[in-house]
Structure 1
């Protein structure tokens, strides 16, 4: 039994390194059912679960990671808290996102400035944007910009520009599209961690969709597709690819309704528990397509 567990762990870790999310998730799940995983394995298990569309489970696992980090590394625990808050926000739960942001703030009180402060500032800014709190958004965005400059951090600087662009677009300023083009085209900067890069794409595409800016939806989904190709095999099914495909299908005007229903149903499970906006778009696409198919 011990040998079997050890072998499963090797399979799970190896599969994750080669971006085989399904094998990694299923292997970690089998081991987790009979023995406790170490903290690093739990974090990888959570990431694989998210990419397989298991958002609720991913958050639950990451909460275990956060609890363990509290005892060993408060700064990393704060980053994990911000990451969990970002996941709750993507799933459409603003109150939980704010709660995790507050936990990160408490952990970082009195701590010398680190990248953790920047990721927390980004989370505070996007939660404020979703709550339509302009004052808090401006404050958090300024804080992110300051941390990025003070630390010379490329990833945080990219997140700063993304916030600037989305805020401008939301305010009706066409210059915001050009700013986001600079961030997203041809592909989002590699130094930005995957979860945070995915949030930038998610927010930019959702905003372009709301603004009915179909040309930008098209160009940014192409960028997200290239980003996915750079971070996982092209044959891999993942939640990130599914979100990208949902936005791409949303601007296809002449799609065959039967084919569209088939494709959208295939995406539904992957996005339903990881992206509230994409999940809502899936239902809209299905309703529209079924009506046309009759």
Structure 2
């Protein structure tokens, strides 16, 4: 056994890549070319991976080994897809299908081709066909005891079931696939893809308990392989998502930056766009609206749709009409249950901010139904938060209160620091409307958390709600909220977005304020606020 083969056998991909690079590709047989391609891909040398697999494909074809040629074509299709080369991916998929048709007997390679055809079906939105392909791949893996095919098709069946809204079934398949790769049953290329695909599936339906568990397993797997670069970017993204959830936003932004740097090195533009979108979400919550806009535009330039985060950014910037138009378009577009899980919370927020209570209520009920099907605590919390927000917007603070308390309990259970504080602030708003003196404690506690995580807009909102018990000028607590935001320079649309009011309601409050204070301009009202210690 050569030195390169020894390095490969013990999982030292960098050493194996270096050794085979020194030897040159000309003297390598088809099997060695395949292993060199694997090592090259794992340490981030995409061009060498493609060159080696193309040579291996030709060698296998010339030798009449069509099955191995199909496997090379499969790898080439997969790597082309992940590197933003859909035409090449389609070409290699067709080539693999042609070669399988030349094989007379049944074989595992038919399952690998079915797996590739599954991606084509998903791209076309035909999830029924995708399910059939995933099942065919799994059955072939079982018939021929192909551990790689069983692991990856089990994971694929899980993701397709999620797309169909069969959350319990989908998660069960993902659990099984993860056990297989954690137990070491799959080769590195397949194991890495299963790790990342399963984590992404759990993240899409806000099952953060699984995301945390599986990300820790992925991190251990990555750390055990010297020189590994592939899949470490995904690992950093998932760590960043968990850091954002837990309220450590500085660390989250650093992880996204690390992920982007690794994605640049291996040349996967879609994945870089994902890090830009995640970065934009954090910056928006911090109140860095220009930075968020830049991040979202970068994501869009790379082919990743930054919605609904971009609509929420427009709302925070006072562009409520643009935000609502975007949400209306998104809601009208065909989308499955997984896509709706991601869209609905932001859409509900925009609709309520623009006074669309009835449509928001229907969406909140839909979100709650999806959450109940998933069983994911974070998604159930999001559904409860949405139902409470609808009740509060409709003027029923007492009816909203149980929903917000439930959301706070569940967000706390999932260690979602920021989201738990949002639920607590909402609880405080209900208590304030009900003239309950415990409102101050809830609002102060929420403000403390917002300040800790760096959520300046929400900290400001909490401060505006913490108005003194005895208010000057005959102002109500809500009018003080509006006045404080006027004094801070907010426009009417921005005030409407922050206080979840319609612009018409804000204008009415402002008219009342001017009348009570006997002032005729925003500047004079702001001066009054400063003089009387309201800011």
Is the TM value for this pair above 0.5?
Answer: yes
Question: For 1:161-209, what per-residue CA distance to the aligned partner results, in whole angstroms no more than 9, with x for missing partners?
Answer: 3222111212222212233123214854533333223222232223333
Residue correspondences, number: 281
How far has the Cα of 1:214 moved from its partner?
2.7
Report the counterpart of residue 62 of structure 1 in structure 2: 53
84-93 or 284-293, which deviates more: 284-293
> Taking structure 1 as reference, are residues 290 and 146 closer, same or farther at Cα in structure 2, changes over 3 Å only?
closer
Compute the displacement of 1:82 (Å). 1.0
CA deviation after TM superposition for structure 1 residue 10, in Å:
4.5
Q: Give yes or no for the alignment of 1:217 onto 2:244.
A: no
Aligned to 1:239: 230
Counterparts of 1:221 and 1:200, CA distance in 2: 12
Q: Which runs of 5+ in 1 are unaligned?
A: 1-8
Q: Tell which deviates more after alignment, 194-203 or 105-114.
A: 194-203
Q: 1: CA distance between counterparts of 2:113 and 2:189?
A: 13
Contact 1:117 1:147 in 2 (8 A): yes
Quote how far apart the aligned CAs of 1:38 are.
3.4
Q: Does 1:103 align with 2:95?
A: yes
Shift of the 68–245 alpha-carbon distance from structure 1 to 2, 3 Å rule, reads same
Contact 2:13 2:39 in 1 (8 A): yes
Aligned to 2:332: none
> Which deviations, in whole Å up to 9, do the C-alpha atoms of 1:115-173 show, x marking residues without a partner?
21122222221332234232431331232233234335454333343222111212222
Distance in 1, Cα, partners of 2:19 & 2:282: 37
In the superposition, the TM-score normalised over structure 1's length comes to 0.80
Aligned to 2:42: 51
Aligned-CA RMSD value: 3.1
RCO higher in 1 or 2 (8 Å CA, sep ≥ 6)?
1
> Contact 2:236 / 2:255 at 8 angstroms: preserved in 1?
no
Say if 2:5 is the partner of 1:20: no
Residue 206 of structure 1 is matched in structure 2 by 200
Rate the CA distance shift 1:31–1:260 in 2: closer, same or farther, 3 A.
farther
The normalised TM-score by structure 2 is 0.47
Of residues 33, 37, 46, the one that matches 1:42 is 33
Higher Rg: 2
Per-residue displacement from partner, 1:234-260 (whole Å, max 9, x unpaired)? x64421233222222222123352x55
Unaligned runs of 5+ in 2: 292-535
SS in 1 for 2:44: coil
